[in-house]
Amino acid sequence: MVADYDKMIAGYTAKYPKEAAEIKRRFAHELPADWEKVLPSYKPGDKAVATRSLSGVALNALAAIMPELIGGSADLTPSNKTALKCSGDYQHNTPEGRYLRFGVREHGMGAIGNGLHAYGGIVPFTATFLTFIEYMFPAVRLAALSGHKHIFIMTHDSLGIGEDGPTHQPIEQVNMVRATPNVLMFRPADGNETSGAYKVAMEQKDTPSVLALSRQNLPQLAGTSIDGVSKGAYVIVEEKNPDAVLIATGSEVSTCVEAAKLMDGKFTIVSMPCAKLFDEQPIEYRRKVLPFKTPVIAVEMAAASGWYKYAHHALVMKTFGVSGKGSDCMEYFGFTPKGVAASVKKWLDTTGKAVKEHGFALAAQFDEPTKRDLHYVDYI
């Protein structure tokens, strides 16, 4: 049987050398030459855009040169921004189509994506709202256990979803994903970080990625970069001897940048698009990003779990959300520049004084770099 297969491949290669090279590349889990050059970059002053839309731009740029990118959405294509311009739907009469209409069946979608990667030569992407990742989480967990390079595109990542209310506003989901071994959880702050998330996700061989993306428009920030995402966390606004470090993810990064302008004193701003990648960095780098004897305050519209490894104080969600416009929801819980500035000042004037005086350390300043243990991938 093997001999017959090898003979077939040899014959195909002789007759269709270009197509055969493509198949061999894909089954060897190799990427096209210079593929990363198609990822868009952005500069301050460019139009404010939701990261779900920026994700659609990056996904389409990659899909145009990578026929192995195949996937779809659980009945939320217009919201997830995952439609492929280079391909139509996979249907009975269009088997060449690369876009799958999964319907409202998140778990089945995730399982099918894993199966596509297991077959070989395919990089699957599947999409829904971040809250609904819970419906498909067994498939996410199995992707991590089995070493599937599967890109989970999760939009509407926070209170910014607005009117759909608490049932749709994710609170605990971000930390649930972060706590799962061998899954990279990205929450990009703008266009550069969205492209950076795709770059890292595509570079993986045995690790799935979850991209948590905003519904609301976000500004293109100074200091962000595509390559910075690979570090997990990095400084985007640096001050010498700052009064505090504000560390945030996603939409809250730009909120912190604006909040710092409303306060007296100096504040370094750190964006942390992927905590797991930051944990993998050398101690020296983590100490540079989170310096000793400097209060660190985390800001994220999600549950607090995990933040006290990186911060002395966390401005986070402690309840479910509320119904209302996205901007009103964020104002209600204090996730506006004015609200964050007031909370930071209050903490620095009280508990923060003791932190600065005694120089309390953080686990992230001492923990050895983590390594992804993929022993289970080898025997599954």
| Mean pLDDT, rounded, for 119-126 | 97
Residue 379 has pLDDT above 60, yes or no: no
Q: Dihedrals φ, ψ of 318, to 5°? A: -120, 0
Residue 65 has pLDDT above 70, yes or no: yes
| Mean pLDDT, rounded, for 18-38 | 95
Residue 202 has pLDDT above 70, yes or no: yes
As a whole-number percent, the residues of the chain with pLDDT over 90 amount to: 89
Catalogue the active-site residues. 106
At residue 63, the 3 state secondary structure works out as helix
**Ranges of H-type helices in the chain:** 2-15, 17-27, 51-63, 77-80, 106-119, 137-146, 173-178, 191-203, 251-261, 275-279, 283-289, 326-332, 337-348, 351-358, 375-379
Residue 41 has pLDDT above 90, yes or no: yes
pLDDT value of residue 364:
85
Please give the structure tokens belonging to residue 33.
Answer: 């030459």
| Mean pLDDT, rounded, for 301-316 | 94
Band of the pLDDT at 359, cuts 50, 70, 90? Answer: confident
Least confident of 10-14, 16-20, 76-80, 376-380: 376-380
Half-sphere exposure in the Cβ direction for 188 (13 Å, CA): 40
Cα–Cα distance measured from residue 325 to residue 213, given in angstroms and rounded to the nearest whole number: 18
Neighbours of 354 (CB within 10 A): 11
Provide, for the chain, the percentages of residues in helix, strand and coil under a 3-state DSSP scheme, each rounded to the nearest 5.
Answer: 45, 15, 40
Cα angle 187, 190, 196; round to 5? 70
pTM, 2 dp:
0.95
Cα–Cα distance measured from residue 329 to residue 234, given in angstroms and rounded to the nearest whole number: 28
Least confident of 110-119, 143-152, 356-365: 356-365
- Is 189 in contact with 197 (CB distance < 8 Å)? no
Residue 175 has pLDDT above 70, yes or no: yes
Residue 363 has pLDDT above 80, yes or no: yes
**Mean of per-residue pLDDT scores for the chain:** 95
Please give the structure tokens belonging to residue 28.
Answer: 């060897």
pLDDT value of residue 378:
66
